Amino acid sequence: MAATTLGGALNRALRDALAEDPSVVVYGEDVGPLGGVFRVTDGLTAEFGEDRCFDSPLAESGIVGTAVGMAMHGLRPVVEMQFDAFALPAFEQVVSHVAKMRNRTRGRVELPLVIRIPYGGGIGAVEHHGDSSEAYYAHTPGLRVVTPATPADAYSLLREAVASPDPVVFLEPKRRYWDRADLDLPVRTEPMDRAVVRRPGTDATLIAYGPMVATALEAAEEARAEGRSLEVVDLRSLAPFDDDTVAASVRRTGRAVVVHEASTFAGYGAEVAARITEQCFHHLEAPVLRVGGLDIPYPPPHLEEYHLPSVDRVLDAVDRLQWEASWVPDVPPPPPRRAAGRAEARS
């Protein structure tokens, strides 16, 4: 085994896909000789040539529109949108053509293409470089939407995405590109449309995906020091949604918190909370809570730590779950935590 970053696992997945299938092509802004802004495609042009991994013009709608034509004629394009918000000029292509072509042709035309999108904040970037637009894509029938949280899943999910006969929006948590794990690649994890329990627990379920899985696991570890047991579920697939794994976890614990970076209002967590309420109503001891980004445009770099969910905000929600479950009239909810306060309490 060797220490592998999430970005390195993605690079290996693309390299293996290119080597095994001559119909796979990789292209996008700066993905050629430069190797991409985050170096995920580093070395691919040198190894496979400019016919297989190449730079595109700075025109996102053109990138995706060209991929539609390529996929219709037998290729398997893997395209990169350099940052999440930069993909929005291609949104019409994605919604009107990528998502609908198979249905429009009654299954006669498949679009086996992957749209890679680095998304989320946490890297000190400016506006348009830290957005989380997953709800737009997950809301669109005809698209698979997946997001890895670990290097192993980065490799396995991307290989499955490239092999899929359906179009896949592959969301890469840019703040986790440098997370490391000991891996023996190639590796295959759970199937692409399944959620997994990353940490078992009994008192409440934290449901997260992509960049927030690590935050949820950190919150669960903090809670363990306080004598509470939190289960962490990594969704992995946003569309389709794995109701079975999520519902089974919430039925065990009786409480749930959904965590994501995107703004909370009408965010992806609202759908998760609704599904849990519908399927687990008689098992719930408290309302399903959401912890997300603030309902504001993405803030300047020096303010993003206040916008993004933190361990403290997740544990605030867990505190409220306990208060809700043992509600007593005229007893106010617990006050917000602060990291320094927790450190003082432990000392």
Which of 199, 260, 195, 249 has its CA nearest to residue 228?
199
Q: Which one of the listed residues 97, 129, 260, 307 is annotated catalytic?
A: 129
Place of tokens 């396995």: 156
Helix (H, G, I), strand (E, B) or coil at 168: strand
∠ CA 81-211-154, nearest 5°, is 65
Q: Which two tokens stand for residue 39?
A: 């170096």
Using the CB atoms, write b or e for 146-173: b if 16+ within 10 Å.
Answer: bbbbbbbbbbbbbbbbbbbeebbbbbbb
> Is the sign of the CA dihedral 37, 11, 151, 28 positive or negative?
positive
Task: Give the residue from 110, 33, 111 showing the smallest Cα distance to 66.
Answer: 111
Residue type for 155, please? Y
Q: How far is CA 264 from CA 124, 181, 224, 289, 299, in A?
A: 21, 31, 26, 11, 15
Told to judge if 307 belongs to the known catalytic residues of this protein, a careful annotator would answer no
CB 309 within 8 A of CB 262: no
Which residue in this structure is represented by tokens 């060797």? 2
From the CB of residue 30, how many other CB atoms can be counted at a distance below 10 Å?
A: 16
Distances (CA, A) of 80 to 18, 28, 115, 162, 169: 15, 5, 6, 13, 10
Element (H, E) at 117: strand 114-119
Residue 259 near residue 204, CB atoms below 8 Å: no
Task: Give the integer Cα–Cα distance in Å for 246 and 231.
Answer: 11
CA neighbours within 13 Å on the CB side: how many for 214? 17
Token duo for residue 251: 């039925």
List, by residue number, the catalytic residues: 129
